[in-house]
């Protein structure tokens, strides 16, 4: 169901004072502007957050790509080591004959070979091979002794991956990232375990070199593996990102977090290769300080503007309503005292203001003065009208006396056997009644034809056989409305310009038909037609300066006043001579009115 406004609320608003409406309008406008401004700031902050995230994601993507590129290189190095032919043959020999003498004899060869591989990569801290009998062969710049527990974890991890590489996170005793791989026999695809390869990698050195290469700060990147922080060893942001690391992040993104009362922008990137999560932490204080200051200034300026506009609005509203209230009080005084008894000085003071209120006061004063003048003029005119009416009544000829006289002549003619005189008197009476009657300005074409026929009857007495008149109008045309005395003056015009100027018989005919735009009534004659000068005079719409009766210009104006600019008269000479006047009026509706 459609809800409509309560009439009470609408009337309540309309009954408010103007200054209240202005104050309310300004308040609503300022509130809307404040809402738009606040929404704009929030959208701008959101866009800025996205831009920061894009930059941070680019940093993380670049860093993770370079780090994982180095790790894949180490993976290829470990693969080369476990498939090394010398390691394969040596470990097979040790497993077959593991006497202490053989161990001591082979030991330098394994160390030399390990040293060659470890020195090929700058990030390798040390490399170690553990054979099936728990003998260790290690080398490197930073050797490390494995505890029994850690060795067991390494061997279990290597066995689980069955020759594939596995990474062991750094811990408190050993800060190195450890790559573990089981050495298996590839001869004849036996895949028998020959030992375990352990490579200790300096992750801190990799990240430092990556940051240097990418032009970043070392503190821009943090790496977490589950709950363990791989890089750096210690960070003030550990507690900030520990909650995220427990969630098992599966998508890249960003979040806003607070640490020690300060806001931070934290973006993260999940590596599909290692399963590590790379973090980038940016302090809001450092990047949003100027924006926050500007935001506070904007809000303060907006609040100041709101108060200023409210005060200014009240002053403007008061300056508008105070003169209006004074004008209203004076109007009420006029209502009580009356216009005739109120002196001009107490009506409204002359205002020096030139705005609309001042113009209203001056116009009101002038209106009251004019009304008082008109009251005096009207009083004097009423006296004159009464005297004029009295004199007109004395000199008035009653039309009924004239009708009765014509009626008496008519009966006298019939009694003396003069039917022609009787017909002329009756026709003259009809024309006289039509011209004097003021009851109807529009009549039907049928009624207008009756007037035309009365006029033709009188003219036939005058011109006898010289006048020939034809009428051809359909029934639907006869029902249309037309201004009274339209066709009769046109017929009179044809007699004047076609018959009176020649001694030859004159044919005048009136036809009527319907068109797409309405009804056309055509009055034609076989006379000499209009000369070009007269046509130009008529087409120029200049007022008629000669002739008597109702002119063509008068007829056209009455048609246009009645039906609009689309209707009127067209005047032209016929193709074979004679004059031709076309009357355009609307067609009749079903109810009898014109369209």
Tell me the per-residue pLDDT of 34-78, one tens digit each, with 9 for 90 and over: 788 778 777 877 777 677 767 777 777 777 788 888 888 888 888
Model confidence pTM above 0.75? no
State residue 481's pLDDT score. Answer: 92
More confident residue, 28 or 426: 28
pLDDT at 433 over 70: no
How many of the other CB atoms lie within 10 Å of CB of 505? 13
CB 177 within 8 A of CB 198: no
pLDDT tens-place string over residues 293-327 = 777 787 788 778 778 877 877 777 777 777 777 77
Q: Tell me, what's the pLDDT at 396? A: 44
Mean pLDDT over each residue of the chain, to the nearest integer? 75
Which position has the higher pLDDT, 217 or 68? 68
Task: Give the residue, 225 or 437, on which the prediction is more confident.
Answer: 225
Mean pLDDT, residues 394-406 = 54
User: Measured between alpha carbons, how far is 477 from 519 in angstroms, rounded to an integer?
Assistant: 7
Tell me the pLDDT tens digit for each residue of 440-484.
678 899 988 988 888 888 888 778 788 888 999 988 899 999 988
Once rounded to an integer, what is the mean pLDDT over residues 387-393? Answer: 53
Give the pLDDT mean for 179-195.
Answer: 82
The string of DSSP codes covering 67-123 is HHHHHHHHHHHHHHHHT-HHHHHHHHHHHH---HHHHHHHHHHHHHHHHHHHHT-TT
Tell whether the model's pLDDT for residue 246 goes beyond 50. no
Out of 37-41, 333-337, 524-528, 582-586, give the one with best mean pLDDT.
Answer: 582-586
The pLDDT score that the predictor gives to residue 545 is: 43
Furthest-apart CA atoms within the chain: distance in Å: 179
Secondary element (H or E) of residue 555: helix 552-563
Residue-wise pLDDT for 222-242, tens only, equals 788 777 777 776 666 666 665
Over residues 97-121, mean pLDDT: 75
In which band, very low, low, confident or very high, does the pLDDT at 510 lie, cut at 50, 70 and 90? Answer: very high
- What are the tens digits of pLDDT across the range 124-143? 888 888 887 777 888 877 76
Range of lowest pLDDT (74-88, 229-243, 327-341, 534-548): 534-548
The residue with greater pLDDT, 391 or 552, is: 552
Confidence at 512, pLDDT banded by 50, 70, 90: very high
The three-point CA angle 123-126-132 to 5° equals 135
Q: What integer pLDDT is reported at residue 261 of this predicted model?
A: 67
Q: What is the pLDDT of residue 311?
A: 80
Q: Which is higher by pLDDT, 399 or 308? A: 308
Under the banding of pLDDT at 50, 70 and 90, the label for residue 8 is low
- pLDDT for the residue 392: 47
Map out the domains of the chain with their CATH numbers.
83-205 (3.30.450.20), 339-386 (no CATH), 467-585 (3.30.565.10)
Q: What percentage of the chain reaches a pLDDT higher than 70?
A: 71
- Per-residue pLDDT, averaged over 198-210, amounts to 83
Confidence of residue 506 (pLDDT cuts 50, 70, 90): confident
Q: Taking the CA atoms of the chain, what radius of gyration do you get in angstroms?
A: 58
Residue 255 has pLDDT above 50, yes or no: yes
Per-residue pLDDT at 334 exceeds 80: no
- Residue 583's nearest CA partner among 522, 535, 529, 512 is 522
**Distance from C-alpha of 139 to C-alpha of 126, rounded to nearest angstrom:** 6
- What pLDDT does residue 235 have? 63
User: What pLDDT does 561 receive?
Assistant: 83
Tokens linked to 24:
């309310």
Residue 511 pLDDT level (bands cut at 50, 70, 90): very high
The answer to whether the CB of 115 falls within 8 A of the CB of 81 is no
d(Cα 204, Cα 232) in Å, to the nearest integer?
7
């Amino acid at each position: 169901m459609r809800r409509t406004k309560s009439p009470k609320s609408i009337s309540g608003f309309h009954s408010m004072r103007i200054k209240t409406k202005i104050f309310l309008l300004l308040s609503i406008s300022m509130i809307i502007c404040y809402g738009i401004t606040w929404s704009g700031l929030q959208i701008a902050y959101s866009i800025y957050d996205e831009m920061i995230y894009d930059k941070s994601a680019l940093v993380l993507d670049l860093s993770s790509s370079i780090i994982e590129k180095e790790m894949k290189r180490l993976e290829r190095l470990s693969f080369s080591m476990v498939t090394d032919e010398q390691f394969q043959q040596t470990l097979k020999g040790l497993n077959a004959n593991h006497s202490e003498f053989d161990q001591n004899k082979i030991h330098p060869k394994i160390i030399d070979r390990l040293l060659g591989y470890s020195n090929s990569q700058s990030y390798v801290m040390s490399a170690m091979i553990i054979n099936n009998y728990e003998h260790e062969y290690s080398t490197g710049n930073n050797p490390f002794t494995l505890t029994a527990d850690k060795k067991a974890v390494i061997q279990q991890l290597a066995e689980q991956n069955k020759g594939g590489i596995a990474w062991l996170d750094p811990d408190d005793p050993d800060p190195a990232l450890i790559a573990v791989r089981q050495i298996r026999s590839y001869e004849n695809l036996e895949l028998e375990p020959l030992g375990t390869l352990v490579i200790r990698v300096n992750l801190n050195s990799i990240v430092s070199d990556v940051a240097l290469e990418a032009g970043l700060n070392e503190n821009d990147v943090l790496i977490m593996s589950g709950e363990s922080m791989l890089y750096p060893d210690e960070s003030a942001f550990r507690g900030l990102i520990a909650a995220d690391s427990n969630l098992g992040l599966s998508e890249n993104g960003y979040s806003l977090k607070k640490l020690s009362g300060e806001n931070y922008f934290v973006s993260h990137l999940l590596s599909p290769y290692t399963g590590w999560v790379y973090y980038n932490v940016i302090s809001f204080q450092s990047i949003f300080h100027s924006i926050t200051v500007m935001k506070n200034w904007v809000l303060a300026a907006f609040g100041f503007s709101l108060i200023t506009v409210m005060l200014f609005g009240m002053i403007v509203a008061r300056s508008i309503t105070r003169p209006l209230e004074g004008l209203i009080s004076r109007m009420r005084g006029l209502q009580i005292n009356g216009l005739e008894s109120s002196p001009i000085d107490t009506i409204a003071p002359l205002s020096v203001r030139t705005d609309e209120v001042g113009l209203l006061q001056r116009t009101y004063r002038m209106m009251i003065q004019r009304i008082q003048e008109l009251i005096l003029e009207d009083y004097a005119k009423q006296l004159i009208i009464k005297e004029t009416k009295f004199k007109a009544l004395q000199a008035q000829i009653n039309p009924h006396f004239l009708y009765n006289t014509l009626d008496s002549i008519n009966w006298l003619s019939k009694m003396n056997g003069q039917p022609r005189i009787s017909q002329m008197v009756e026709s003259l009476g009809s024309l006289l009644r039509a011209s004097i009657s003021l009851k109807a300005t529009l009549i039907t074409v049928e009624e207008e034809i009756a007037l035309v026929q009365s006029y033709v009857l009188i003219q036939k007495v005058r011109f006898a056989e010289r006048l020939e008149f034809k009428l051809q109008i359909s029934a639907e045309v006869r029902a249309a409305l037309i201004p009274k005395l339209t066709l009769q003056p046109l017929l009179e015009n044809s007699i004047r310009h076609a018959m009176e100027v020649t001694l030859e018989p004159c044919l005048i005919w009136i036809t009527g038909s319907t068109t797409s735009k309405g009804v056309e009534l055509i009055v034609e004659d076989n006379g000499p037609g209009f000369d070009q000068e007269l046509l130009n005079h008529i087409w120029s719409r200049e007022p008629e300066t000669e002739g008597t009766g109702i002119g063509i210009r008068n007829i056209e104006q009455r048609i246009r006043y009645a039906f609009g600019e689309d209707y009127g008269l067209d005047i032209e000479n016929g193709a074979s001579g004679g004059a031709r006047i076309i009357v355009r009026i609307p067609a009749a509706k079903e109810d009898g009115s014109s369209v």
